[in-house]
Homo-oligomer: A and B are copies of this chain.
């Protein structure tokens, strides 16, 4: 009845790149996937348990550390993620964007709040854009790296393109 369950698929996707602990999966959300999906450890650990009981993944520990638990996809899990990736997306997401929402409610072009909102948004988008370009330079400085993580590369390009588009739009507004 509630929202569609996405997290386990994301986790499977992460584990396809190599076994990982809950902590490592959590960090993946912080640094890589974080641009377009968020999750936190308090969601991830229970989800890992769930996936274990469903047989999507199994776990093991390394002898030198009693604490860390490594996870890897089972054959079932590999099947599931492969199917999921092959299934096209049914509908476009709604971008829950507070900036758009606030602008929407401002009726007149000369409302001073509009200027404030736009200036602020410009700052946020520029910062994010700078960050994305830094990531691009760090992660994809050779053709080989691009070829080995092509999807990741594409998505980073798209994120950059999107923010450039938004910035251009904001700039054009300021001129008027």
Contact = CB atoms under 8 A, between A and B. Distances in A.
Interface in A151-173: 151-152, 154-155, 157-159, 161-162, 165-166, 169, 173
Contacts of A16: 105
Given A97-B36, A169-B158, A151 B88 contact: no
A94 interface: yes
A85 B78 CA distance: 47
A96 B162 contact: no
- Range for the number of chain A residues in contact with chain B: 35 or more
A121 B157 CA distance: 16
Interface of A: 6, 10, 13, 16, 33-38, 81, 84-86, 88-89, 91-109, 111, 113-114, 116-117, 120-121, 124-125, 128, 147-152, 154-155, 157-159, 161-162, 165-166, 169, 173
